Amino acid sequence: MKRSSLVVAATLAASALLLGGCSASGSSSSPTTGTVNLLGPEDPKTFAPVIAGFEAANPGDTVKYTQVPFDQLSSTLQQRLAAKDSTIDVYAVDQPNIPQLAAQGFLEDLSDLQSKEKAATSDAQYKINLYNGKMWALSVWNSTQLMFYNKDALAKAGVQPPSADPAQRWTWEQTETAARAAQAAGIKNGLLMEQVEAYYQLQPLMESLGGGSGITGKQMLTPAVETAGWQKAMQWYADTFASGLSPRGVGGFQTSPVFSNGDVAFFVGGPWDVGNFAQNAKFDWGVAPLPYFEGGKQVTPTGSWSWGINPASTKKDLAKKFLEYAALNPEGNLLTAKNTTIIPSVTEAEKKYLPTLEALGGAHSAGVEKLVAYEVTHTAVARPVSVGYVQFDSVMSKAFADIRNGADVKSRLAQATQQLKDAWSQLK
Protein backbone atom coordinates (compact mmCIF):
# COMPACT_ATOMS: atom_id res chain seq x y z
CA MET A 1 0.00 0.00 0.00
CA LYS A 2 1.66 3.10 -1.06
CA ARG A 3 0.40 5.41 1.49
CA SER A 4 0.39 6.13 5.23
CA SER A 5 -2.67 5.32 7.26
CA LEU A 6 -5.16 8.12 7.80
CA VAL A 7 -4.65 9.75 11.18
CA VAL A 8 -7.72 11.34 12.70
CA ALA A 9 -9.30 10.91 16.12
CA ALA A 10 -12.55 8.96 16.30
CA THR A 11 -15.46 11.14 17.17
CA LEU A 12 -17.56 10.91 20.29
CA ALA A 13 -20.43 9.97 18.01
CA ALA A 14 -18.58 6.76 17.22
CA SER A 15 -18.38 5.86 20.88
CA ALA A 16 -22.08 6.40 21.32
CA LEU A 17 -22.82 4.12 18.40
CA LEU A 18 -20.47 1.51 19.79
CA LEU A 19 -22.54 1.24 22.92
CA GLY A 20 -25.56 0.25 20.90
CA GLY A 21 -23.76 -1.67 18.17
CA CYS A 22 -24.01 -1.18 14.43
CA SER A 23 -27.23 -1.22 12.49
CA ALA A 24 -27.66 -1.57 8.77
CA SER A 25 -29.54 1.18 7.02
CA GLY A 26 -31.32 -1.41 4.95
CA SER A 27 -31.89 -1.67 1.23
CA SER A 28 -34.58 0.44 -0.35
CA SER A 29 -35.79 0.82 -3.89
CA SER A 30 -33.43 3.00 -5.90
CA PRO A 31 -32.51 3.57 -9.56
CA THR A 32 -30.50 0.85 -11.31
CA THR A 33 -29.33 3.16 -14.08
CA GLY A 34 -27.92 6.65 -14.00
CA THR A 35 -24.78 8.29 -12.63
CA VAL A 36 -22.67 6.89 -9.79
CA ASN A 37 -20.74 9.46 -7.77
CA LEU A 38 -17.37 8.01 -6.71
CA LEU A 39 -15.06 9.79 -4.27
CA GLY A 40 -11.43 8.94 -3.53
CA PRO A 41 -7.89 10.30 -3.13
CA GLU A 42 -6.34 9.04 -6.36
CA ASP A 43 -5.57 11.00 -9.51
CA PRO A 44 -8.56 10.80 -11.90
CA LYS A 45 -6.49 8.95 -14.52
CA THR A 46 -6.08 6.06 -12.07
CA PHE A 47 -9.72 5.06 -12.27
CA ALA A 48 -10.39 6.13 -15.85
CA PRO A 49 -9.98 2.53 -17.14
CA VAL A 50 -12.43 0.94 -14.66
CA ILE A 51 -14.95 3.73 -15.19
CA ALA A 52 -14.72 3.31 -18.97
CA GLY A 53 -15.05 -0.46 -18.61
CA PHE A 54 -18.14 -0.18 -16.44
CA GLU A 55 -19.79 2.34 -18.73
CA ALA A 56 -19.09 0.17 -21.78
CA ALA A 57 -20.56 -2.89 -20.05
CA ASN A 58 -23.59 -0.96 -18.80
CA PRO A 59 -24.96 1.39 -21.50
CA GLY A 60 -26.82 4.28 -19.94
CA ASP A 61 -24.75 4.23 -16.75
CA THR A 62 -22.01 6.74 -16.03
CA VAL A 63 -19.55 7.31 -13.20
CA LYS A 64 -18.51 10.75 -11.97
CA TYR A 65 -15.26 10.66 -10.03
CA THR A 66 -14.27 13.34 -7.51
CA GLN A 67 -10.75 13.46 -6.15
CA VAL A 68 -10.10 14.64 -2.61
CA PRO A 69 -6.43 15.03 -1.59
CA PHE A 70 -5.30 12.18 0.65
CA ASP A 71 -4.58 14.39 3.64
CA GLN A 72 -8.10 15.86 3.41
CA LEU A 73 -10.01 12.67 2.72
CA SER A 74 -10.76 11.67 6.31
CA SER A 75 -12.04 15.09 7.39
CA THR A 76 -14.05 15.45 4.18
CA LEU A 77 -15.74 12.08 4.71
CA GLN A 78 -16.49 12.85 8.36
CA GLN A 79 -18.14 16.15 7.47
CA ARG A 80 -20.12 15.02 4.44
CA LEU A 81 -21.21 11.62 5.71
CA ALA A 82 -22.26 13.05 9.08
CA ALA A 83 -24.38 15.56 7.17
CA LYS A 84 -26.01 12.65 5.25
CA ASP A 85 -24.72 14.06 1.98
CA SER A 86 -26.45 11.99 -0.70
CA THR A 87 -24.13 13.21 -3.48
CA ILE A 88 -21.58 10.53 -2.51
CA ASP A 89 -22.58 7.04 -3.63
CA VAL A 90 -19.34 5.02 -3.45
CA TYR A 91 -16.18 6.09 -1.68
CA ALA A 92 -12.66 4.83 -1.03
CA VAL A 93 -12.03 3.46 2.46
CA ASP A 94 -8.58 3.08 3.97
CA GLN A 95 -9.04 -0.48 5.22
CA PRO A 96 -8.06 -0.01 8.89
CA ASN A 97 -10.72 2.72 9.15
CA ILE A 98 -13.60 0.41 8.22
CA PRO A 99 -14.61 -0.38 11.84
CA GLN A 100 -14.77 3.29 12.83
CA LEU A 101 -16.80 4.27 9.77
CA ALA A 102 -19.14 1.32 10.26
CA ALA A 103 -19.62 2.17 13.94
CA GLN A 104 -20.53 5.72 12.99
CA GLY A 105 -23.17 4.49 10.55
CA PHE A 106 -21.23 5.78 7.55
CA LEU A 107 -21.09 2.49 5.59
CA GLU A 108 -23.92 0.49 4.05
CA ASP A 109 -24.17 -3.12 5.20
CA LEU A 110 -22.92 -5.33 2.32
CA SER A 111 -23.31 -8.67 4.06
CA ASP A 112 -25.37 -10.01 1.16
CA LEU A 113 -22.13 -9.95 -0.86
CA GLN A 114 -20.09 -11.67 1.84
CA SER A 115 -19.92 -15.10 0.18
CA LYS A 116 -18.94 -13.55 -3.17
CA GLU A 117 -16.18 -11.49 -1.54
CA LYS A 118 -14.84 -14.53 0.31
CA ALA A 119 -14.67 -16.49 -2.94
CA ALA A 120 -13.12 -13.64 -4.92
CA THR A 121 -10.17 -12.58 -2.78
CA SER A 122 -7.63 -13.74 -0.20
CA ASP A 123 -8.59 -14.65 3.34
CA ALA A 124 -6.86 -11.58 4.79
CA GLN A 125 -8.57 -9.25 2.33
CA TYR A 126 -11.94 -10.83 3.00
CA LYS A 127 -11.65 -10.48 6.77
CA ILE A 128 -10.42 -6.87 6.74
CA ASN A 129 -13.88 -5.76 5.56
CA LEU A 130 -15.72 -7.43 8.46
CA TYR A 131 -16.80 -5.73 11.65
CA ASN A 132 -19.19 -7.10 14.26
CA GLY A 133 -19.85 -10.07 11.99
CA LYS A 134 -21.01 -7.97 9.03
CA MET A 135 -19.35 -6.86 5.81
CA TRP A 136 -19.09 -3.11 5.25
CA ALA A 137 -16.86 -2.69 2.19
CA LEU A 138 -15.26 -4.65 -0.65
CA SER A 139 -11.51 -4.82 -1.28
CA VAL A 140 -10.33 -3.18 -4.49
CA TRP A 141 -6.55 -3.25 -4.06
CA ASN A 142 -4.08 -5.37 -2.11
CA SER A 143 -0.39 -5.10 -1.24
CA THR A 144 2.62 -6.92 0.10
CA GLN A 145 6.22 -6.08 0.87
CA LEU A 146 9.42 -7.24 -0.81
CA MET A 147 13.11 -7.00 0.02
CA PHE A 148 15.14 -5.34 -2.74
CA TYR A 149 18.90 -5.72 -2.71
CA ASN A 150 21.88 -4.08 -4.38
CA LYS A 151 23.49 -7.01 -6.17
CA ASP A 152 26.63 -5.03 -7.05
CA ALA A 153 27.21 -4.05 -3.40
CA LEU A 154 26.76 -7.64 -2.25
CA ALA A 155 29.17 -8.92 -4.90
CA LYS A 156 31.77 -6.40 -3.75
CA ALA A 157 31.36 -7.73 -0.21
CA GLY A 158 31.57 -11.35 -1.35
CA VAL A 159 27.96 -12.02 -0.26
CA GLN A 160 25.79 -14.45 -2.18
CA PRO A 161 22.45 -12.64 -2.72
CA PRO A 162 19.15 -14.03 -1.41
CA SER A 163 16.79 -16.02 -3.62
CA ALA A 164 13.35 -14.89 -4.74
CA ASP A 165 12.06 -18.33 -3.72
CA PRO A 166 9.99 -18.02 -0.51
CA ALA A 167 11.19 -21.50 0.48
CA GLN A 168 14.67 -19.97 0.81
CA ARG A 169 13.55 -16.88 2.70
CA TRP A 170 16.31 -15.19 4.70
CA THR A 171 16.03 -14.36 8.38
CA TRP A 172 16.53 -10.84 9.68
CA GLU A 173 19.67 -12.13 11.33
CA GLN A 174 21.06 -13.25 7.95
CA THR A 175 20.06 -9.95 6.40
CA GLU A 176 21.76 -7.93 9.12
CA THR A 177 25.00 -9.92 8.76
CA ALA A 178 25.03 -9.44 4.98
CA ALA A 179 24.15 -5.76 5.32
CA ARG A 180 27.03 -5.11 7.69
CA ALA A 181 29.40 -6.91 5.33
CA ALA A 182 28.21 -4.64 2.50
CA GLN A 183 28.83 -1.60 4.67
CA ALA A 184 32.32 -2.83 5.48
CA ALA A 185 32.90 -3.14 1.72
CA GLY A 186 31.94 0.48 1.16
CA ILE A 187 28.18 1.01 0.84
CA LYS A 188 26.81 3.77 3.05
CA ASN A 189 23.70 2.09 4.50
CA GLY A 190 23.03 -1.55 5.20
CA LEU A 191 19.24 -1.64 5.59
CA LEU A 192 16.37 0.77 4.99
CA MET A 193 12.59 0.43 5.15
CA GLU A 194 10.46 2.51 2.85
CA GLN A 195 7.73 3.24 5.43
CA VAL A 196 10.25 3.54 8.21
CA GLU A 197 7.88 4.61 11.00
CA ALA A 198 4.64 3.02 9.73
CA TYR A 199 2.83 0.25 11.58
CA TYR A 200 1.91 -1.38 8.26
CA GLN A 201 5.55 -2.17 7.51
CA LEU A 202 6.73 -2.78 11.08
CA GLN A 203 3.88 -5.09 12.14
CA PRO A 204 5.63 -8.19 10.69
CA LEU A 205 8.57 -7.68 13.07
CA MET A 206 6.41 -8.08 16.17
CA GLU A 207 4.18 -10.74 14.63
CA SER A 208 7.19 -12.82 13.57
CA LEU A 209 8.36 -12.93 17.20
CA GLY A 210 4.91 -13.89 18.51
CA GLY A 211 4.24 -10.43 19.92
CA GLY A 212 0.78 -10.11 18.39
CA SER A 213 -0.75 -7.15 16.61
CA GLY A 214 -0.63 -4.78 19.56
CA ILE A 215 -4.40 -4.78 20.08
CA THR A 216 -6.36 -7.43 21.97
CA GLY A 217 -9.50 -7.93 24.06
CA LYS A 218 -13.10 -8.81 23.27
CA GLN A 219 -13.77 -5.32 21.94
CA MET A 220 -10.28 -5.01 20.41
CA LEU A 221 -9.68 -1.96 22.55
CA THR A 222 -7.00 -3.27 24.91
CA PRO A 223 -3.37 -2.25 24.22
CA ALA A 224 -0.86 -5.09 23.94
CA VAL A 225 2.35 -3.37 22.85
CA GLU A 226 4.48 -4.45 25.80
CA THR A 227 4.59 -8.18 25.09
CA ALA A 228 7.95 -9.95 24.92
CA GLY A 229 7.70 -10.08 21.12
CA TRP A 230 7.07 -6.34 20.87
CA GLN A 231 9.93 -5.58 23.25
CA LYS A 232 12.39 -7.75 21.32
CA ALA A 233 11.29 -6.55 17.88
CA MET A 234 11.41 -2.89 18.87
CA GLN A 235 14.84 -3.30 20.45
CA TRP A 236 16.12 -4.82 17.21
CA TYR A 237 14.52 -1.94 15.29
CA ALA A 238 16.13 0.61 17.62
CA ASP A 239 19.53 -1.04 17.34
CA THR A 240 19.53 -0.87 13.54
CA PHE A 241 19.55 2.93 13.84
CA ALA A 242 21.76 3.22 16.90
CA SER A 243 24.43 1.07 15.26
CA GLY A 244 24.35 2.92 11.94
CA LEU A 245 22.97 -0.04 10.00
CA SER A 246 19.97 2.12 9.07
CA PRO A 247 20.05 5.92 8.60
CA ARG A 248 18.15 8.35 10.77
CA GLY A 249 16.65 11.52 9.34
CA VAL A 250 15.06 9.97 6.24
CA GLY A 251 11.25 10.13 6.35
CA GLY A 252 8.78 7.60 5.03
CA PHE A 253 8.47 7.57 1.23
CA GLN A 254 11.56 9.75 1.01
CA THR A 255 13.50 6.54 1.17
CA SER A 256 13.34 4.89 -2.25
CA PRO A 257 15.79 7.37 -3.84
CA VAL A 258 18.37 6.27 -1.27
CA PHE A 259 18.22 2.78 -2.75
CA SER A 260 17.97 3.85 -6.40
CA ASN A 261 21.00 6.12 -5.87
CA GLY A 262 23.03 3.07 -4.84
CA ASP A 263 23.44 4.02 -1.16
CA VAL A 264 21.78 1.05 0.57
CA ALA A 265 22.32 -2.71 0.41
CA PHE A 266 18.84 -3.94 1.42
CA PHE A 267 15.58 -2.04 1.00
CA VAL A 268 12.11 -3.11 2.14
CA GLY A 269 9.46 -1.72 -0.20
CA GLY A 270 6.30 -2.49 -2.12
CA PRO A 271 5.52 -3.85 -5.59
CA TRP A 272 5.31 -0.26 -6.85
CA ASP A 273 9.07 -0.04 -6.41
CA VAL A 274 9.68 -2.62 -9.15
CA GLY A 275 8.86 -0.07 -11.84
CA ASN A 276 10.46 2.73 -9.84
CA PHE A 277 13.82 1.00 -9.58
CA ALA A 278 13.64 -0.28 -13.15
CA GLN A 279 13.59 3.36 -14.27
CA ASN A 280 15.92 4.92 -11.73
CA ALA A 281 18.46 2.41 -10.40
CA LYS A 282 21.65 2.34 -12.49
CA PHE A 283 23.11 -0.79 -10.89
CA ASP A 284 22.27 -4.48 -10.74
CA TRP A 285 19.53 -5.22 -8.22
CA GLY A 286 17.18 -8.04 -7.33
CA VAL A 287 14.13 -8.97 -5.29
CA ALA A 288 13.73 -11.40 -2.39
CA PRO A 289 11.03 -12.31 0.16
CA LEU A 290 10.55 -10.19 3.27
CA PRO A 291 12.70 -11.73 6.03
CA TYR A 292 11.53 -13.14 9.35
CA PHE A 293 13.26 -13.67 12.70
CA GLU A 294 15.06 -16.95 13.27
CA GLY A 295 12.70 -19.40 14.95
CA GLY A 296 9.77 -17.06 14.36
CA LYS A 297 6.81 -16.91 12.02
CA GLN A 298 6.97 -15.81 8.40
CA VAL A 299 4.73 -12.75 8.19
CA THR A 300 4.14 -10.13 5.49
CA PRO A 301 1.89 -7.03 5.48
CA THR A 302 -1.23 -6.91 3.39
CA GLY A 303 -4.06 -4.53 2.64
CA SER A 304 -4.71 -1.32 0.79
CA TRP A 305 -8.05 0.26 -0.16
CA SER A 306 -11.63 -0.97 -0.09
CA TRP A 307 -14.70 0.80 -1.43
CA GLY A 308 -17.96 1.22 0.44
CA ILE A 309 -21.42 2.64 -0.16
CA ASN A 310 -22.77 5.74 1.56
CA PRO A 311 -25.97 4.84 3.50
CA ALA A 312 -27.38 8.26 2.54
CA SER A 313 -27.07 7.53 -1.18
CA THR A 314 -30.34 7.58 -3.10
CA LYS A 315 -28.84 5.24 -5.73
CA LYS A 316 -27.70 2.27 -3.64
CA ASP A 317 -28.65 -0.36 -6.22
CA LEU A 318 -26.71 1.44 -8.93
CA ALA A 319 -23.83 2.01 -6.52
CA LYS A 320 -23.76 -1.69 -5.70
CA LYS A 321 -23.74 -2.61 -9.39
CA PHE A 322 -20.66 -0.45 -9.93
CA LEU A 323 -18.99 -1.71 -6.75
CA GLU A 324 -19.49 -5.33 -7.76
CA TYR A 325 -17.96 -4.60 -11.16
CA ALA A 326 -14.88 -2.95 -9.65
CA ALA A 327 -14.37 -5.23 -6.67
CA LEU A 328 -15.80 -8.65 -7.58
CA ASN A 329 -15.60 -8.90 -11.38
CA PRO A 330 -12.03 -10.00 -12.32
CA GLU A 331 -11.94 -7.92 -15.49
CA GLY A 332 -13.29 -4.83 -13.77
CA ASN A 333 -10.97 -5.26 -10.80
CA LEU A 334 -8.00 -5.63 -13.13
CA LEU A 335 -8.88 -2.27 -14.67
CA THR A 336 -8.64 -0.56 -11.26
CA ALA A 337 -4.91 -1.40 -11.30
CA LYS A 338 -4.20 -0.72 -14.98
CA ASN A 339 -2.71 2.71 -14.33
CA THR A 340 -0.98 1.76 -11.07
CA THR A 341 1.50 -0.78 -9.72
CA ILE A 342 -0.86 -1.76 -6.91
CA ILE A 343 -2.02 -5.38 -6.77
CA PRO A 344 -5.70 -5.93 -7.64
CA SER A 345 -7.58 -7.63 -4.81
CA VAL A 346 -9.51 -10.23 -6.82
CA THR A 347 -7.45 -13.41 -7.10
CA GLU A 348 -8.20 -13.95 -10.78
CA ALA A 349 -7.28 -10.34 -11.57
CA GLU A 350 -4.07 -10.70 -9.56
CA LYS A 351 -3.06 -13.73 -11.65
CA LYS A 352 -3.39 -11.69 -14.83
CA TYR A 353 -1.63 -8.67 -13.35
CA LEU A 354 1.48 -10.22 -11.79
CA PRO A 355 3.25 -11.23 -15.04
CA THR A 356 3.06 -7.58 -16.07
CA LEU A 357 4.55 -6.51 -12.75
CA GLU A 358 7.45 -8.94 -13.08
CA ALA A 359 8.15 -7.76 -16.63
CA LEU A 360 8.60 -4.16 -15.46
CA GLY A 361 11.97 -4.91 -13.93
CA GLY A 362 13.18 -7.41 -16.49
CA ALA A 363 15.84 -9.73 -15.10
CA HIS A 364 16.04 -7.66 -11.91
CA SER A 365 12.53 -8.63 -10.86
CA ALA A 366 12.69 -12.29 -11.86
CA GLY A 367 10.53 -14.37 -9.52
CA VAL A 368 8.25 -11.54 -8.40
CA GLU A 369 5.14 -13.09 -9.93
CA LYS A 370 5.36 -16.31 -7.91
CA LEU A 371 6.67 -14.53 -4.82
CA VAL A 372 3.81 -12.04 -4.55
CA ALA A 373 1.20 -14.73 -5.22
CA TYR A 374 2.74 -16.84 -2.45
CA GLU A 375 2.86 -14.02 0.09
CA VAL A 376 -0.74 -12.93 -0.49
CA THR A 377 -1.94 -16.49 0.07
CA HIS A 378 0.41 -17.87 2.75
CA THR A 379 2.09 -15.16 4.84
CA ALA A 380 -0.22 -12.13 4.69
CA VAL A 381 -1.38 -10.73 8.03
CA ALA A 382 -3.75 -7.76 7.99
CA ARG A 383 -3.71 -4.89 10.41
CA PRO A 384 -5.99 -5.40 13.42
CA VAL A 385 -9.71 -4.77 13.04
CA SER A 386 -10.60 -2.27 15.75
CA VAL A 387 -12.77 0.81 16.02
CA GLY A 388 -9.77 2.32 17.80
CA TYR A 389 -7.26 1.65 15.03
CA VAL A 390 -7.04 5.28 13.94
CA GLN A 391 -5.78 6.35 17.37
CA PHE A 392 -3.56 3.26 17.56
CA ASP A 393 -1.85 4.12 14.30
CA SER A 394 -1.27 7.72 15.39
CA VAL A 395 0.09 6.79 18.83
CA MET A 396 2.36 4.05 17.54
CA SER A 397 3.74 6.10 14.64
CA LYS A 398 4.96 8.65 17.17
CA ALA A 399 6.36 5.89 19.39
CA PHE A 400 8.22 4.33 16.45
CA ALA A 401 9.72 7.72 15.60
CA ASP A 402 10.89 8.23 19.17
CA ILE A 403 12.38 4.73 19.39
CA ARG A 404 14.11 5.22 16.06
CA ASN A 405 15.67 8.39 17.42
CA GLY A 406 16.97 6.84 20.63
CA ALA A 407 14.10 6.63 23.13
CA ASP A 408 14.27 3.71 25.58
CA VAL A 409 12.14 0.91 24.15
CA LYS A 410 10.59 -0.35 27.38
CA SER A 411 9.58 3.04 28.76
CA ARG A 412 8.35 4.34 25.37
CA LEU A 413 6.10 1.32 24.85
CA ALA A 414 4.75 1.76 28.38
CA GLN A 415 3.98 5.38 27.55
CA ALA A 416 2.21 4.31 24.36
CA THR A 417 0.12 1.85 26.37
CA GLN A 418 -1.12 4.62 28.65
CA GLN A 419 -1.80 6.91 25.70
CA LEU A 420 -3.91 4.22 24.07
CA LYS A 421 -5.83 3.54 27.26
CA ASP A 422 -6.64 7.23 27.55
CA ALA A 423 -7.68 7.53 23.90
CA TRP A 424 -9.80 4.40 23.95
CA SER A 425 -11.54 5.09 27.25
CA GLN A 426 -14.14 7.13 25.32
CA LEU A 427 -14.90 4.21 23.01
CA LYS A 428 -15.77 1.57 25.62
Per-residue pLDDT of the chain (428 residues; tens, 9 = 90+): 544 333 333 333 343 334 333 434 444 457 778 999 999 999 999 999 999 999 999 999 999 999 999 989 999 999 999 999 999 999 999 999 999 999 999 999 999 999 999 999 999 999 999 999 999 999 999 999 999 999 999 999 999 999 999 999 999 999 999 999 999 999 999 999 999 999 999 999 999 999 999 999 999 999 999 999 999 999 999 999 999 999 998 887 789 999 999 999 999 999 999 999 999 999 999 999 999 999 999 999 999 999 999 999 999 999 999 999 999 999 999 999 999 989 999 999 999 999 999 999 999 999 999 999 999 999 999 999 999 999 999 999 999 999 999 999 999 999 999 999 999 998 97
Cα diameter, the chain: 69
Q: Is 191 exposed, middle or buried (0-12, 13-18, 19+ CB in 10 A)?
A: buried
Q: Could you tell me the pTM of the whole model?
A: 0.90
Give strand pairing partners of 141: 344
Question: Using an 8 Å Cβ cutoff, are 208 and 297 in contact?
Answer: yes
Beta strands in 212-317 (DSSP E): 215-216, 222-223, 264-269, 285-289, 300-301, 305-309
Helix (H) or strand (E) holding 35: strand 35-40
Query: 315 Cβ partners below 8 Å, 6+ apart?
Result: 30, 31, 34, 35, 36, 89
**Residue pair 230/395 in contact by the 8 Å Cβ criterion:** no
User: How many other CB atoms sit within 10 Å of the CB of residue 84?
Assistant: 12
CA torsion sign for 71, 199, 246, 167 is negative
